[in-house]
Structure formats: C-alpha cells, structure tokens
A and B are shown apart, each in its own frame.
Chain A
C-alpha cells in the first residue's frame, strides 16, 4: 500500500513537471508560428506593390516622388531582419502606400479603373491581415512572457531554454483604421 502511494506520488510529480515544461515549449512554438504568419502576409503585400505601382503609373506617370517612396520602402522591407527592423520597415511601407493612394485620389479615371479597384481591395484585405497577424502574435507573446515570469512555469523557463520574446510594435496612430471597401 505504501509503495503504491509513493509510486503514485512520484508519477503525479513527474506529470506536473512534464506538463509545465511542455506548456512553455508549446507557447514558444506558438510565438514562432504567429511570427511566420506576419511574414507571410508582409510578403503578400510586397508582391502586390509592383502591380499597383504599374497601374497608378499608367494614369499618373509624373507623380514620381510617391512611386520612389513606395519602391524604396518595399526594398527596405525585403531586406529587413529582426523583429524591430521588420516592424519599422513594415510601418514605413504602410505610410508610403497611404501616400500613393492619396495621390490616386486626384485621378478619377484611375479610381474608376477595374484593375485599380481590385488592387485596392486586395491591398486593404492584406493590410487587415498584417494587422490581425500582428495582434495575434502580440497576444501569444503576452501569454508566453507571463508564463516565463509567473509561478510555477518560471522555474522551468531556464531548463526549457525559453525566454521572454519581443513584441511587434508599430508606431502608428491610425494603424487600426483600414480603408473602407463596401461589399
């Protein structure tokens, strides 16, 4: 009987240790996956840009400054490395695109072209996807960082080699407002 109790006690403790360790690993993998999603969406947006620039050029070829800004921001976003860097490039590209779309406002023919309308919808949904992927990533980072800092998971953080992770921060007051597209 006593042997049984001891074995059961050890099994219980082992189960507890393993579950805490696994929890940290799982959260850490989740953060990686969430970040990969951001990158997928950023790449999608970058892929849309050459097409968009060409379309706008067809109607407003002399707005060179706006094109250059977008092209430059896109190049930067392609070469960015590390979360802070990627976030900054992402932010810069968002601003440049906003500038380009503002330029397009002055050209009624452009705004009415089917190609442009479709590109605009694709761009706005991609902006939304980037924003949501970012939000989900930050949520997972928040959960992980809380686990790394609080009892009992914090005891296992060193052993599991899981540490706090960096938030994806964009410094944009209107990051949440997306262009309106009616259905």
Chain B
C-alpha cells in the first residue's frame, strides 16, 4: 500500500542515486579531460569547480534576498494578510519548522515558491492570483508543499546540483575553446579510440548534466507533494489545488528563467520543452499520485 512515507522514501533514494550519478559524471569528465589534454586538463578542473562553487554558493547563501528581486516578490507582515498568515502558522506548527517569511508577488497567474538557505532563513511567496483562485483547503495544500521544500532542504539540493552541472559545463566549455584554438593533446596517450571517447564525453557532458539536474528537480517536487501530505494529512486539498493550477493557463510573467524551477507549477511552456528537460513532473502525474493517497488511506 502506497503511503506518503513510502513515497518519501522512494523519492529520497532516487535523489541520492541521481546525486551519485552526478559525482560519477564529474569524475568521468575529469578523467576524459586528463587523458585528452594531459596537464592542461588537470589545470582546468579546479578552476571550473572553483568558479562554479563561488557563483552558485553565493546565490545559495543569499537566496532569500536574491529571489525577491528576481521575482519582484514583496515581504508582508501579519497585518497585511492575517488569513494567509494563519494558514502558514498552521502548517509551520504541523511541520515543527520555525515560521518563515511570507511574500506576495503581484501577478494574475496562480503560483507559489519557497526559498532560503535553511529553515531559519526560509521565505515562501504567493502570487496574488493564487490567493484569489483558491479556497482555504487548497491554499493550505500549497502552503504545505512550499513548507515541504523548506523541510527537505531543497534549496541546498538544487545548489549542489547546480554547482556540479555548472562545473561540468565550464570544463567542457574551456576544453572546447582550447581545442578550437589548437591546444596540444597529451603526447603520452595516443590510443585513438580513447581519444575519440574522451572527446565525445567532454562534448556531451553538459547535456547529461542538464538532464540529471532536471531529474533531481522532478524528484524533489514529488517528494514535496508527499511531505505536504505528511504535514496536513489531507491529500485532497493539494490535489484540488493542483487541479486549479492545471486548469489555469495563465503563466507568471517571469523576469528571469533562472528561477523557473522554484515555483509550484512550472512557469515554462510545458509543450516547448521535452519531458526529460522539465523541472517539474507532469501535473497530471502529481494529481494521480495524490489521488492514490486519498483512496489508499494514509
């Protein structure tokens, strides 16, 4: 019998598997770089990892403030919207997490997101559209989904994924440029098959990294749905909320695609990107998973 706990376990296991896959990919890329470029390749790796670390972890550390400017969200006080604060307090009690900051994005499209480096710096934001479109139970499901991201440390998970993907992209980019400008190959390794293989790995690695990053993001979304049910013990509310989101065709006016993955419903056009690159599982799949929890008991 599928319960939210088995769903959580399976999604956590899959995340770990994908992160290990990321580590393996970085290792394969480094190995290929070294066998193809020798000393040059060895020099490039720490530089790429360093640049990626600094850029991603800077934005991870300041995520609550950065995302505010990127999405145009405005932090509100309890007196601005007491009902919304009541809902967030309820879920905060259910999760045992400290009360997060609450923000509003003026946008007709119904959507919401969570960010912040740890539960003490968490921020959850809602569009004015989602507050208008949903009743109390549905909104509670949405709040629980966002608090689930906070509880599962998803800002950290996606920062780790982004760092690795960034490092891989940089290594590949550096080496392709070196190759373009006629960089020297490693003289000791002249096995042509190995060289071709290394070349292909370096060429395709950024694509593989993007796919892995999207897969991790999808698993974290499913995990957040399951954890939301753990908090509210009410899969119906979140299921109805997702149905409202699925029916609605308006899309958040994004200022930046860099933060597309943090919303509860992907703001990118689902048809334009293939399923493998999507940051969210198809909304019908998420609704079906919640329906199973409704019929199967908790």
Contacts and interface: CB of A to CB of B under 8 A. Distances in A.
Interface string B77-92: 0000001001101110
Interface stretch (A91-99, A104-112, A126-134): A126-134
Nearest to A37: B93
A181 interface: yes
A135 B233 contact: yes
Consensus secondary structure, chain B interface: helix
Interface in A122-179: 122, 125, 128-129, 132-133, 135-136, 139-140, 176
Contact of A183 (B83, B94, B233): B83
A182 B94 contact: no
Contacts of B231: 132
B288 to A, nearest CB: 23
B136 A180 contact: yes
B252 interface: no
B96 interface: yes
B134 interface: yes
B93 A129 contact: yes
Contacts of B86: 121-122, 125, 128
Given A128-B90, A129-B90, A133-B93, 6 more contacts: A37-B93, A129-B93, A140-B96, A180-B135, A183-B83, A183-B134
13 contacts: A125-B86, A128-B86, A129-B93, A132-B94, A132-B231, A132-B232, A133-B93, A136-B93, A136-B94, A139-B96, A182-B135, A183-B134, A183-B136
Interface of A: 30, 34, 37, 41, 121-122, 125, 128-129, 132-133, 135-136, 139-140, 176, 180-183
Interface of B: 83, 86-87, 89-91, 93-96, 131, 134-137, 139, 231-234
